Amino acid sequence: MTTTGHLDEALQRLHTYGPERLGRLINHAPMVVEALVARGRAESVHRWIDRYAPKLEEPPARVEAVTADNWRRALGEPRRVMDWTDHFGREIGAHPWRDVLARWWPRLLPGLFGGSTHPVIRTGHAVRTLLAEDPTAPRLAELAHALGYWAARHRPVGTLAPLPGAAGASAALDAVPPLVAPEGAFAARTGLLTGLPVWPESVTGPDEARLRLAELVRAATHRYATHGHGEETMLVHAATAPAAVLRTLPALPRALWVPSLRAAWTASAAVTAMYAPRSPVVYAPPGALDPDEVFARALAHGDEHVLKLADTALGVGDAAALVSVRRAVELSEPLF
């Protein structure tokens, strides 16, 4: 089978499930299968789904159609997720997908924190595959599912006090103050945030925004090796959320690149504040690291967050990023 066939069949299979289970846990499968195909592992897609599918649930029931008149009331309503998915399916059926994305991106961007940032991550995976090849019906449907999930889980962060930052992304992440006595899941911790460092202050142009966003993805990916023990799963999102925004930029109008950088920084810094440990550790895996071997280890491990971090690390493309994947393999509970 062709790569297109593997991915399209997988997406059609996964679109029979809902985006969550137990009302709060995320269906990562559409993101993982796209990453597997993008990294040359299309032959592993269905085997991975077979192992993961018992975790999934059927989609929730529809409530009421989302329309041009009522969409603001439906924004941020998790029970309306299939209503939203249907809405974006109609939008993408009637208009070019880039136009739909450009219209809705600024509306959804303030709510990037909803669903623990997974909706924007799913959107980034969907956009990458649409940019890579001619759109197919399952890939366009996946974008509708991703945007629908984002709209349903839309959750703006509150007003945050600007704190002193730093010149570079790595130093700025180091300057993020950890929450005092954090408790609860992602949504509860988000409500405890009061301030984050300002970074980057002076960016006004789209090209610099793209470079700074790539810098943030690299810094957050590297940082996982020394800080991932604070929360091995959630701290992955400090890298994968801005990576999703970065891979979406080419499909967006350039005027949206600077606000996209700001939102990605807030997401990465917020996750860092909510879950980072008080102290880093020194981590140096033995031996040289080969990208193919590192991704193969992540696939053998099977955990969805490990695989998505591996995908992001291969995009960063340096040895320090591969070290973080090895660390994630050691810290995380395997699927297989």
What would the two tokens of residue 130 be? 């649409």
Q: Work out the pLDDT band at 216, boundaries 50, 70, 90.
A: very high
Output the pLDDT for position 271: 96
pLDDT higher than threshold 70 for residue 68 = yes
The verdict on 129 and 240 lying in the same domain is no
Calculate mean pLDDT across residues 138-145.
98
Examine the pLDDT at 331 and tell me if it is beyond 90: yes
Confidence of residue 266 (pLDDT cuts 50, 70, 90): very high
Share of the chain above pLDDT 90, in %: 88
Residue 168 shares a structural domain with residue 102 = no
- Which residues constitute the domain of residue 56? 3-152
Mark which of 97, 126, 152 sits at the end of a domain: 152
**String of b and e for 128-152 (b: at least 16 CB within 10 Å)?**
bbbeeeeebebbbbbbbbbbbbbbb
pTM for this prediction: 0.96
Regarding whether 27 and 127 lie in a shared domain, the answer is: yes
Together in a domain, 195 and 105: no
Q: Are 174 and 306 contained in the same domain?
A: yes
Provide mean pLDDT across the span 169-176: 97
| Residue 317: per-residue pLDDT | 96
Q: How many domains does the chain have?
A: 2
pLDDT at 182 over 90: no
pLDDT for the residue numbered 4: 59
Side-chain half-sphere of 113: how many Cα atoms within 13 Å?
Answer: 23
Q: Does residue 196 have a pLDDT over 80?
A: yes
For residues 130 and 217, membership in a common domain is answered with: no
Q: 3: pLDDT confidence band, cut at 50, 70 and 90?
A: low
Choosing from 128, 152, 176, the residue where a domain stops is 152
Angstrom distance (rounded) from CA 322 to CA 325: 5
